[in-house]
Structure 1
Amino acid sequence: MFTGLVQAVGRVERRGVQLLVTGCAPFAPLQLGDSVAVDGVCLTVAECVGDGFLADVSEETLARTTLGVKASRRGAVNLEPALRLADRLGGHLVGGHIDGAGTVMAVEALSQSWRLELRWNDPSYGRYVCEKGSIAVDGISLTVAGCSDDGSRFWIAVIPHTWESTSLHHLVVGASVNLEADVIARYAERLLLQAQPGASAHQAKPDVEITSDWLNAHGWG
């Protein structure tokens, strides 16, 4: 698990069938088998190399995330080592398992912050987005400032420290980002759907409309 608090900005590039991630000195030393979030993607250290590591990646990871494209141009990536039980949870619980890609719709510099507007490429994930909720963007724990009715488009107020100490300042309109929804929202949805009378433990009911009346009738009021 991770917290979404970036500890370094490094680079990623292809090394044969593996990815080489550099720039891990701020949280070194790494050991074989350690987990590191790279732009929000949980990668396992297969070999330590200088101030970074080599990692094996599956076709699924390359297809679902931006790492393949970034590696082709030695792009900047946000880095965070795995959470230790004694660490402070300064962000939110981030699994390092990307749900899908998003697209930058607007980047606006304000007097004391930046307004970043994004959209899910798959709008169905918008159901996990709500105002003041948490979302991980390229591995960064951020708070949703507002969103469309279906949550597929949302915007974030980014403070100067986050803007300057992560890769966010590289973003431009049209850029792709890795998005991970709040895991608590995902589990809450599944528990609510499973609470229907007669539903089996392995059978979800995505066609149910969860309303305040439904919640009250099923003991969630």
Structure 2
Amino acid sequence: MFTGIIEAIGRVGVIRSQGGDSSLFIETSDLNLEDVKLGDSIAVNGVCLTVTSLERNGFWADVSNETMTHTRMGGYSVGTRVNLEKALTLATRLGGHMVSGHVDGVGVVVDRYDDGRSIRMVIDAPEELAKYIAEKGSITVDGVSLTVNAVSAAQFVLNIVPHTAAETVINDYRQGSKVHLEVDLVARYLERLLTFTQDGGASSGSHSSKINLDFLASNGFMK
């Protein structure tokens, strides 16, 4: 589990095909690896990867064909810059929101423009993810926890403050850039709860749930 608060920027140092899958070496001089051991998780541009080997200036991680196919990692090359975050601990501040490191889809930057000292970005999300994206809700973009400023159909708007732009790879984005998206876990679980109840799953038992769309609306969770 992660928080979406990026700890360092790294770069892809080596891409090696291995047994039908791939191994990546991520170079980083800024991420503190002293407390990292083999088997630990590190989010690389929002993708949870397992550390398989540690070196003085970075770490190795295996990437399955499934991950390479369904994320942007299949298009990475040596030198690609990536956001890095170690898995959270009980002592970690939850400064962003709960992030699993399981990418839900790939979005496309369709517009970017300056707004004062901030950067505004419009991202086109896959249509199947649009229902999980809400104004003032949270979304993870390449591992960065961000607040959605506005939503229109499958597009949403982000406001990137100068600090976030400087400390992540977001400043590299241009029109047409592809980004990893992970929607808020709460939205996923809420959908499951509602559809399971409405389909007669939980409602068929003796302890049926009383949470439905009417309940959420009457208690101020929906407009």
The normalised TM-score by structure 1 is: 0.87
1:7-51 Cα offsets, whole Å, 9 max, x none, are 000012403331111115432222111100000000000011222
List alignment gaps of at least 5 residues for structure 2: 204-211
The normalised TM-score by structure 2 is: 0.86
Q: What displacement does 1:86 show?
A: 1.8
Q: Does the CA contact (< 8 Å) of 1:132 and 1:144 recur in 2?
A: yes
Identity of aligned residues (%): 43
Aligned mates of 2:216, 2:198 — CA distance in 1: 7
Aligned to 2:124: 119
Structure 2 counterparts to residues 167-182 of structure 1, below 5 A: 167-182=169-184
1:152-178 Cα offsets, whole Å, 9 max, x none, are 100100100001110011101001100
Moved more, 131-140 or 110-119: 110-119
1:157-210 Cα offsets, whole Å, 9 max, x none, are 010000111001110100110000001110011101112263369xxxxxxxxx
Q: What displacement does 1:123 show?
A: 0.8
Aligned mates of 2:162, 2:117 — CA distance in 1: 7
Does residue 100 of structure 1 match 2:105?
A: yes
Q: Does the CA contact (< 8 Å) of 2:11 and 2:78 recur in 1?
A: no
Does residue 53 of structure 1 match 2:87?
A: no
Does residue 35 of structure 1 match 2:41?
A: yes
Indicate how the Cα distance of structure 1 residues 80 and 196 shifts in structure 2: closer, same or farther if over 3 A, else same: same
Aligned mates of 1:69, 1:38 — CA distance in 2: 14
Q: What displacement does 1:52 show?
A: 1.1
Q: Does the CA contact (< 8 Å) of 1:37 and 1:81 recur in 2?
A: yes
Does residue 75 of structure 1 match 2:89?
A: no
Moved more, 74-83 or 108-117: 108-117
Moved more, 18-27 or 183-192: 18-27
Aligned mates of 2:199, 2:188 — CA distance in 1: 20
List alignment gaps of at least 5 residues for structure 1: 202-213
Indicate how the Cα distance of structure 1 residues 220 and 19 shifts in structure 2: closer, same or farther if over 3 A, else same: farther
Aligned mates of 1:198, 1:218 — CA distance in 2: 18
Q: Which amino acid is the alignment partner of residue 26 of structure 1?
A: L
Q: Which amino acid is the alignment partner of residue 179 of structure 1?
A: L
Q: How well do the aligned residues superpose, as a CA RMSD in angstroms?
A: 1.9
Q: Which amino acid is the alignment partner of residue 54 of structure 2?
A: C
Q: Does the CA contact (< 8 Å) of 1:196 and 1:218 recur in 2?
A: no
Aligned mates of 1:134, 1:218 — CA distance in 2: 19
Moved more, 176-185 or 22-31: 22-31
Aligned mates of 1:18, 1:58 — CA distance in 2: 9
Q: Which amino acid is the alignment partner of residue 71 of structure 2?
A: T
Structure 2 counterparts to residues 181-196 of structure 1, below 5 A: 181-196=183-198
Aligned mates of 2:29, 2:50 — CA distance in 1: 13
1:85-107 Cα offsets, whole Å, 9 max, x none, are 12110000000000010000011
Q: Which amino acid is the alignment partner of residue 7 of structure 1?
A: E
